[in-house]
Structure 1
Amino acid sequence: MDDKAIWLTGALKVAPEPIQVPLLWLTRLDDPTTAALASRASLDAADFSELAARPQSAMRAMRRKLTKVLLATLNDMHPQAVIIVRSATGAPRIIEPVGWYLSVAGQWPHCLIGVARWPLGVDIEPRGAPPPPLDAFTERERIELSGCVGDTRLERWLMKEAHAKLFGVAAQTDANTIETCIGHAGAIARSASGRSTISFYHSDAIVCALAQGDEPACQSRA
């Protein structure tokens, strides 16, 4: 955990209040409590139209409902008043309530929903998942990762995915055009879109990454 975000796990237990840092909700879609929460929201015609064309539409539909419930809880509003669309680059955008940013990730049955008052990007992978191919990394990264064990390579991959989502270009960006570094200054990712700082959340089952911009230009590109 870190002091740059609020991490919630399991059932949603949060009262409406001003959020000063990103709020990350990590839950399991196969949990009956989570399913009960999702039933508080329903999808409208626009949601169905968008999700039907995407892979794993049933899982995405449940995540959309949970996102609506989370935003409704934080803003003391009805879930049906929450409106989420896709940008031209495929990134989720919150139309209502105004002033919120969103990033969502999932690897069944795990689901990670991040919301904040400024752009953010999140990603999630099961611990011990097969590492990405070496051609997803830059030459410098491959040298640094040589001989590394554990989840180190997986963390670098998560950094790239979260970074691309921060700038809303995950579907258009090759992983090897994003360079990552973990050092005394923390975890940093850079690309043509800009620079981000990364923080992690680890559990026995999963590894999560949160990307936030540390330059003013980041927020203007979202």
Structure 2
Amino acid sequence: MREIVLDTETTGLNPNGGDRLVEIGCLELRNHVATGESFHVYLNPERDMPEEAFRVHGLSAEFLSGHRTFAEEVQAFLDFIGDDPLVIHNASFDMGFLNAELTRLGLPVLAMDRAVDTVRMARKRFPGAAASLDALCSRFGIDNSARTKHGALLDAELLAEVYLELLGGRQTGLSLQVEEEAGLAAMTGAAPRPPRPHAASAAEQAAHLAFLQAKIAEPIWLRGEGAEEGRG
């Protein structure tokens, strides 16, 4: 199964009021494992950069003016994401900007039902708790120390780890038993004891039989053995 973890940076919050995309970062997952394939572009928004947005991502209008526009990068972007599900943190925001850009170019928009919203996943799993990317990284012990500012590709990489944890983490299949045993050893200070064979040894069986013969006269199960011998 192929999925695309996606994040964007913008000039503001309103895609229908003149704000534009300035960065797209995508990471490919196959069967919930990162393949190392990614798509990343900075985009010339063909407008100024508001100070509030600059403080968030640190991308200046001067820096972005040297990059290609969304119209020039759109085909490479669409080729990369294909028809696969898009894993996005607060999907309505990023999808709104992507679809506004596609609409400006007269291209078909992306269907909202292909977006997997990790904010909704987090709120369902942890009702009432903070659901920001930083809060979820902290909850799951994911190192986000490199995230001094928002960046689309770095955020996509962090989101991929958060998404895995929201799905249940790495405790799946045979690895669950190994991790449970390691946790038990950490709590007790001792290694797990290997399972004891259930079958009694020959010496144990002989001792048991001697005990019964000393306590019970003519046990009925031995009569059966005599009957079998008589038939022979």
Determine if the TM-score, normalized by the shorter chain, exceeds 0.5.
Answer: no
The interval holding the TM-score normalised by the smaller chain is under 0.3
Q: TM-score, normalised by structure 1?
A: 0.25
Higher relative contact order (CA 8 A, sep 6+): 2
Please tell me whether Structure 1 or Structure 2 has the larger radius of gyration of its CA atoms: 2
Comparing both structures, which one devotes a greater share of its residues to helix? 2
